[in-house]
Structure 1
Amino acid sequence: MIVGVPKEIKEREYRVGITPAGARTLIEDGHQVVIEKGAGLGSGLTDEQYLAVGAQLEPSAARVYEQAELVVKVKEPLPTEYELLQPEQILFTFLHLAAAPELTDLLLKKRITGIAYETVQHDDGTLPLLQPMSEVAGRMSIQVGAHFLQKEHGGKGVLLAGAPGVRPGRVVVLGAGTVGSNAVRIAVGMGADVTVLDIDPARLAVLDDHYGNHILTLISNSQNIEDEVSRADLVIGAVLIPGGRTPQLVPEPLVAQMSPGSVIIDVAVDQGGCIATTRPTSHDEPVYLDHGVLHYGVANMPGAVCQTSTFALTNSTLPYIQQLARLGVQQALKANTVLRRGLNVFAGQVRHHAVADALNLPYQS
């Protein structure tokens, strides 16, 4: 199979879909790897490294898309890439279709097989391809929040660790999954006053057992959310519905109750966000003020730490890419139920129920 890897074009996105080591593995398996020139440079991977393992370099994304049977990316195609996608191609990347009706429509019209990293799912509900990026984003969220809480960056001037005789900053984490758990880890390490909310008592119990009296765990309901968010210095949105649109847990009037200079980091923004006032931003303009609260809505946070993120992601995606290339899409999906759960669109039909529900489209099982 011909595996194509175009350069990512999302603003400040420096990750790449396959490393030279991954390309070598696929080539040793008997496949052809076609990669756009410069695709790995942002992650410190040179064209020479790809050439050395036998990959074919192409000068443009158009040349990659023209040849590829399987396109491997990191982020969803942007409008300028829509025309490059070939009918009935296989696309393996983060898609986040619940928040992207135009992209969904294009994939359906071109009868593209779209397999989304974020919905590949084990029997126990874990998300093996989303998890490494969620771990990175969760850890980054506290680092980024601490930065923007500084007065010179628009925040109220709070140090999360506090100081002798001065209370630490209050961090509220909405969601105790992978993003939330990693945010809690860093916030506790920085000495913040941490509260985490979730609807699942079992998840809260895990965090409570691990951190004890260093955190407060609360069941997520409107009363607890209102009580905690209204007095928070930093709120982390860490809610996930696999494949579906994120529920809005923090309404606009509650954001208005937060003190000026507080910070919201909505990691769920690429699925619609869990804060009513959140909208997508970019690494070039990451924040904006709404009701005096600083909002950060960068949808590709891990792209800022691209060397860590590229290797963490591709370590997890490569075995699935190998299986797709070896068996072809239909046999691979039949053989691997974990991968099959990642299927979002196929042959002009929506094949993931959460995507169908979010976009009010027919679902084909």
Structure 2
Amino acid sequence: MLIGVPAEVKNRETRVALTPEGAARLTKAGHDVVIQAGAGAASFLTDEAYVAAGARLGTVDEAWAADLVLKVKEPVPEEYDRLSANILFTFLHLAANEPLARALIAAGTTAISYDTVQLDDGTLPLLTPMSEIAGRLATLEGAHHLLSPSGGRGVLLGGVGDLPGARVVVIGAGVAGRAALAEAVALGADAVVLDLDESRLAAARHAHGERVRTELSTPASVAREVAAADLVIGAVLVPGRPAPTVVSHAMVEGMRPGSVLVDIAIDQGGCFEDSRPTTHDDPVFRVAGSTLYCVANMPGAVGATATEALAHATAPYVDALAAHGRDALATDSALARGLNVDAGTLRCRAVAQALAHLPSAPELAAAS
């Protein structure tokens, strides 16, 4: 099979979908791998390393024309004309991106999304490493924007001496929320985590003991904690669906001046009412005296780390698609759940419910 890896074009996206090690694995298996020249440069992966691994360098057109196209982030509008009836394997987040859904439907693309590949136990093996990175970065970015030169309250996240650290409120105790919480606790913040699932809160107490306080997430508890927070991190995820709004504009208006909010769920539409996607070049905006950070590709800030983590996670699925094409979906239930678009229809139930006016078909059944 011909496998193409185009360069990412999203703002400051430094990741690449395949490492030289991955290229060597695929070419050894008899596949032809074409890498757009310079695709790995931002992750410090050289063209020479890919060539040494058996791949060949090509143009953007050659990479997109492959049987299987591997990307990191969703195609942006300037790439829609490159979509075709091949297999695309990447993050899509379609529930919050109707224009892309329409473009994939029109092109007849078999589009498989990393963020909906799901194991039988409900875990998301390809989203998990990126969520962990985004969670850790959320705390670090929040700490940075709390500094006075960044327009923040001038609060040191971990405090100093007998002075307490900043009040950090994490909403959502999934993978990203747990990572954000761990980073906040490690830095010495006064940390609070809220979730709807008591078992997740119990796990947080077990992991951090008295260094963290837990609360069941309700509109009242969220409002109370947000009002007292220096930093709020939104980490609410419903796989394949738009993120629910958990922090209203009125809550932000009630926060102390110079507070910071970081929305990790922005790829799925965001979990703050005021959220809108931002970029690494222009990451924040102000709302009622607070700073909102809503960068839609946070792991791109650590491309070298994130590329290795993502490539390791995707490897078995890439190998299966390279060996069997679309037939790989019929024998892998996790990969089948990742199918978002096929033959001009939506094939993921959650995405189809979010975009109910677009053509859809039942989810693909596959062996467990």
- Tell me how far 1:53 sits from its aligned partner: 1.4
1:335 aligns with 2:335: no
Write the distance in 1 (CA, Å) between the matches of 2:279 and 2:81: 24
Q: State the Cα deviation string for residues 300-323 of structure 1 (Å, max 9, x = none).
A: 000010000000000010110100
1:65 aligns with 2:64: yes
With the length of structure 2 as denominator, give the TM-score of the two structures: 0.97
Write the distance in 2 (CA, Å) between the matches of 1:249 and 1:53: 47
Summarize the alignment of residues 1-365 of structure 1 with structure 2, pairs less than 5 Å apart.
Answer: 1-58=1-58, 60-66=59-65, 68-86=66-84, 88-329=85-326, 331-360=327-356, 361-365=358-362
CA 1:95 to 1:25, structure 2 compared with 1: closer, same or farther past 3 Å? same
Q: State the Cα deviation string for residues 24-66 of structure 1 (Å, max 9, x = none).
A: 10011111101100000100100001111111101x3122212
Structure 2: which 5+ residue stretches go unaligned?
A: 363-368
Q: State the Cα deviation string for residues 126-173 of structure 1 (Å, max 9, x = none).
A: 100000000100111111110000000110100111122322100000
SS at match of 1:230: helix
SS at match of 1:299: coil
Write the distance in 2 (CA, Å) between the matches of 1:171 and 1:358: 32
Question: How large is the RMSD of aligned CA atoms in angstroms?
Answer: 0.8
* 8 Å CA contact retained: 2:7, 2:16: yes
In the alignment, residue 33 of structure 2 is paired with which amino acid? V
* 8 Å CA contact retained: 2:170, 2:194: yes
- Tell me how far 1:328 sits from its aligned partner: 1.5
* 8 Å CA contact retained: 2:89, 2:112: yes
Write the distance in 1 (CA, Å) between the matches of 2:164 and 2:200: 27
SS at match of 2:82: coil
- Tell me how far 1:356 sits from its aligned partner: 1.1
Structure 1: which 5+ residue stretches go unaligned?
A: none
With the length of structure 1 as denominator, give the TM-score of the two structures: 0.98
Write the distance in 2 (CA, Å) between the matches of 1:210 and 1:167: 21
Write the distance in 2 (CA, Å) between the matches of 1:54 and 1:161: 48
* 8 Å CA contact retained: 2:4, 2:62: no
Which stretches of structure 1, 4 residues or longer, exceed 3 Å deviation after superposition?
none
- The aligned residue for residue 365 of structure 2 is none
- Tell me how far 1:212 sits from its aligned partner: 1.2
Write the distance in 2 (CA, Å) between the matches of 1:47 and 1:112: 28
Q: State the Cα deviation string for residues 287-306 of structure 1 (Å, max 9, x = none).
A: 11011110000010000100
- Tell me how far 1:79 sits from its aligned partner: 0.9
Write the distance in 1 (CA, Å) between the matches of 2:177 and 2:162: 28
* 8 Å CA contact retained: 2:18, 2:311: yes
Fraction of identical pairs, as percent: 52
* 8 Å CA contact retained: 2:344, 2:359: no
